[in-house]
Structure 1
Amino acid sequence: MVLRAFSLKTRGLNFDLERKPKFRSFLAMVSLRFPFSFSGSPNPLPNPNRSPRSSRRFSPAIAFAAAAAFGVGMSFAVGRKLSTNQTDGSAEKPSRSEAPVWASLSLTGAPAETAVEPRTGVAFPAVLDGSRRLLGVGLRRKNILGLKNIDVYAFGVYAEESDVQKLCEKYGSLSTSELKENQEFFADVLDQDLRMTVRLQIVYGRLSIRSVRSAFEESVGSRLQKFSGSKNEELLKRFTSLFKDEQKLPPGSTIDLSREEGYILRTKIDGKEMGSIQSKLLCRSVLDLYIGDDPFDKLAKENVDRGLVSLLQN
């Protein structure tokens, strides 16, 4: 039809089809249905009988139709891309699985029997020290001057399976749903002499041991005050002095804070023993940072709670 329009003009007809509304609509329709019909055709030879005025009139019409067709095509392509991104699950938030972390181990890129903290990609072994089960993973973020959050370290919370099952005598008759709502059960896990470990894996590239020591002075110090009503400065200093200035903490370094039998808090950095302190108050204060009422990562706390319920009923 476009070629037909050219031929009508070259025969000297005294009307301009471009000014006919029906023809303009039809031309636009043809252009939209075949958006590449103009780009693939060779340029027509100049027609000496065609007036410059009519050429100026026809070119904008073709340009307008081609632009409209290109816009529609681009909109369709972008729409398809957005639709694909929304349905492939990559933009969605991670779902909260009812299964414990150790029951659904990572199969994507990480070594066998590991679980991955999704925001950092840090992998944690599903079992630590032979029999401590991974209950949940989380992330410690620190706000800088109210302007920016930095990822400091990922962490995993472990519990000795046999120790958790000692609570069966008290809570074994409760259903899963009842256990999830039973705050006394989680308080007992925090307070009782159950072996547990929190493994920290450093993410931030410029973290110094002084920064770690200062952070624990603030966070653990506030918990000591919370549970005892006093600052316990001597106990806090004994704990923070385990983090010595010569110790380096590049990304990937690990810090293990373990409550051992007899309420002994044992500290390791990259597997090296830094020291142990016997104190029920200190053990509770450290664990409260991760599984207490006001944890560093609330989603991790929820996952740990589900893992504890699963261990009790295993």
Structure 2
Amino acid sequence: MKYRRFGNTGFNASEVSLGTWQLGSKWGDPFSEKDAIATLEEAYDQGVNFFDTADVYQDGESQRAIAKFIKGKEDKVFVSTKIGRRLDSHVAEGYNEKNLRGFVEDCLKNLDVDALDNVLLHCPPTQVFYEPEVFFAMDKMKKEGLIKNYGVSVEKVEEGIKALDYNISSVEIIYNMFRLRPADNFFKMAKEHDVGTIVRVPLASGLLTGKYTLDTKFGKNDHRTTNRNGEEFDAGETFSGVDYATGVKAAQELDERLGAGNKLAPMALRYILMNDGVSTVIPGASKPEQIERNVTAAELPPFTHEQMGIVRDVYDKYIKNPVQYKW
């Protein structure tokens, strides 16, 4: 495993880390603490030292599993947690000091720590980025020692850029072979501000494994079934906002032209790491055996100029319109 400086936090994060939206379960399935702990331990054994979670993941079970896992490892790992999605109505007005403080206090209990390594506002409405009082409240909690660092998770590039106006340490953003726009300007700007970047949805909800077909079925409670048109939350979270049939076709072409040979997933992660503005990428895993597939990405050779061109060509051909213009 290789490590990269995580902005102004003073921490060096594993290039490939772990996102825990799926931890201990597939989307919509019952949570298994045993599987969760085993997955976390396997990731740690493979050199992963950065773990991304949220207070809404498995209704706090993800955080509580992480709390058990990090005992005795507190100085060796970094846990980034998101808050805000527990609001009954996810509106800008809900991002006030009282609510934010309550969310932080609950996270402290769930993770069983005295201070949170990093807190991200969980894809708040765009208006929040234009309300400095929200960020001043986070500054206050940082000064009090409840949190060590804070930042934002965003849906749109413009939100990430706007967040750089504040005293943040990190931005979590969607970036993958089907979502190239952050590489145009955002990563460079974040680096100039000494802000760490966390790349989420790196495999476009699994499309970039190259294993899905038009006949693939997902669980009835899986967001890949229920949120294809943004019915539950932003459509960009599911398949990176790409029409499913189009994404299947584009992934198949990438697989063939890159000569991936059933290794499109690690290649897709390696592609993300080609950008030196990326601090860490957080593919998910629900079971230990999925960890090795993810971490091998850091060991793959760099993309050639020709391969980089293939990714851009497929993106321009299938994905750019309308994804480039929406997010």
Short-chain TM bin: under 0.3
Q: TM-score, normalised by structure 2?
A: 0.22
Q: TM-score, normalised by structure 1?
A: 0.22
* Higher Cα radius of gyration: 1
* Relative contact order, higher structure (CA 8 A, sep 6+): 2
